Structure 1
Amino acid sequence: MEIKPIQKVHVGEQVFQQMKRMLILGEWMPGDKLPSENELASMFNVSRITVRQALQKLVALNLIETRLGEGSFVRTIEIEQTLDRLMPTMYLGEKTNIQVCEFRELMDVESARLAAKRRTEEDIERLNEIISEMKKAEKIKDSNEFARLDLEFHFEIGRITGNPLIIKTNDILKDILEVSMADVINRMGYKTAIDYHSRILEAVKRQDSVQAMDLMREHIEKNMDYFRENP
């Protein structure tokens, strides 16, 4: 990768940004030892102090680690750790039901498509169990339990995808989504959710990814339409 000339304004930030970009682009791979401070200072034509400041920022981001007497090394980044650091910001500010539905549409529609392609017989059994429990909760009008199971159905669809980003994001946002789901059930009732979940399950069971995706989108958009009409 070509090293860009460093301008004299905010030199330390420029070094940090270039080094971060090199890590992201794979110029330095996990496990690689970075050049020494002297070598980096020469590469960027800056002082060792400036290089050290940039390295400290990269350490703070968990992109590299410094080993005493050995130098700096590129860390292996775990998806879960990265998402965990984002968790506090996801809870800031009030979330409207429309915003939550928009997020769910982005996540759940694609999850339904992937789940239909990747599901196992055990997955189908688990989805069936959740719907059966939802019907029991409906009979006794337990809206809190129904809302929990409703969300569990969507999370199970996400789990079936096998994608750790989808699974972890759902887990991080569980509390926000539970509050919204409870409001959906209290205002819209039980029947719509059971009807759509049953149809989505059948599409997933047939491995009809297009139908599963279309039904999930229709399901969530129906919720959004309701909240637009009944703010």
Structure 2
Amino acid sequence: MDFQPIRTKKIYQEIIDQIKGLIAKGSLKPGDKLMSERELAEKMQVGRSAVREAFRALEAMKVIEIRPGEGTYIREASADSIADALSLVLQADQKTASELMELRKILEVECARLAAKRRSGRDLTAMKKALEQMAKDIENGDLGDRADLAFHYSVAKAASNTMVLRLMTTIADTMMHVMRTARVELYRDPKLPHKLLQEHLIIYQAIANSDSEAAQKAMYDHLQGIESAVFNKKNQSS
């Protein structure tokens, strides 16, 4: 058996991992102020030198901004800085993100097929409202991740399966985070936002037309395209 030597992780790396983990969960957001070096050292029961080293590394990664005389902040959500910060999540926990995309294909492709058969007028209205918001977000230069999640949730709701809807609700926070990370990566290409919107419109139209096969295919193509674009790009850059 090919066992590997056990190496103790350096304290500053543990601090970095915890801060990145809080960003991944959404507990820390761009603009949030971190504790001071002294406070964080006391909270984590480590030396201030370890916290200082972690802060320097995180600043180099563009995750935090150290403002002399003011404090340390999670970097603001400018297009480039948030892309660098959020891409850390894929680096830190790519397996979770990849498995979530697999789960989405398992759930949502079938949801789209069922939605085409079972959707109500109210369901279509909810989907259309989400698409309209997504279009507005794109025009305003926003990520549109909330509208994206609202659309996919409305498709799941239209499938009229309470167990599936409950599962979608359970993973909603993780989905939101992965969607945001994926959109940051994908939106570096200025053509992608409109392409993604068009893919959602195709899914909507198939459901509105009660075309279950077309809805199923459109949802699969959409999710497969996102997965390929994000993780192929990630692998090429690593």
Alignment-derived partner of residue 194 in structure 2: 191
Given that 1:98 and 1:227 are in contact with CA atoms closer than 8 Å, whether structure 2 keeps it comes out as no
Question: Within 5 A, what are the aligned runs for 1:192-211?
Answer: 192-211=195-214
Alignment-derived partner of residue 177 in structure 1: 175
Identity %: 25
Alignment-derived partner of residue 112 in structure 1: 112
User: Aligned partners of 1:228, 1:140: CA distance in 2, in Å?
Assistant: 27
The one-letter code matched in structure 1 to 2:222 is H
Q: TM-score, normalised by structure 1?
A: 0.57
Alignment-derived partner of residue 225 in structure 1: 228
Moved more, 150-159 or 186-195: 186-195
Given that 1:112 and 1:213 are in contact with CA atoms closer than 8 Å, whether structure 2 keeps it comes out as yes
User: Aligned partners of 1:162, 1:121: CA distance in 2, in Å?
Assistant: 13
Query: 1:14-73, CA deviations, whole angstroms, 9 ceiling, x for partnerless residues?
Result: xxxxxxxxxxxxxxxxxxxxxxxxxxxxxxxxxxxxxxxxxxxxxxxxxxxxxxxxxxxx
- How many equivalent residue pairs? 137
The one-letter code matched in structure 1 to 2:184 is N
User: Aligned partners of 2:198, 2:98: CA distance in 1, in Å?
Assistant: 21
Larger Rg over CA atoms: 1
Query: 1:93-125, CA deviations, whole angstroms, 9 ceiling, x for partnerless residues?
Result: 945432221110001000000000001122112
Q: TM-score, normalised by structure 2?
A: 0.55
User: Aligned partners of 1:96, 1:222: CA distance in 2, in Å?
Assistant: 18
Q: RMSD of aligned C-alpha atoms? A: 1.4
User: Aligned to 1:230, what secondary structure does the other structure show?
Assistant: helix
User: Aligned to 2:206, what secondary structure does the other structure show?
Assistant: helix
CA positional deviation for 1:227:
2.5
Gaps of 5+ in 2: 1-91, 188-192
User: Aligned to 2:226, what secondary structure does the other structure show?
Assistant: helix
User: Aligned partners of 1:105, 1:220: CA distance in 2, in Å?
Assistant: 7
User: Aligned to 1:141, what secondary structure does the other structure show?
Assistant: coil
User: Aligned partners of 2:147, 2:125: CA distance in 1, in Å?
Assistant: 15
Query: 1:139-158, CA deviations, whole angstroms, 9 ceiling, x for partnerless residues?
Result: 11122xx1011011111100
User: Aligned partners of 1:220, 1:160: CA distance in 2, in Å?
Assistant: 18
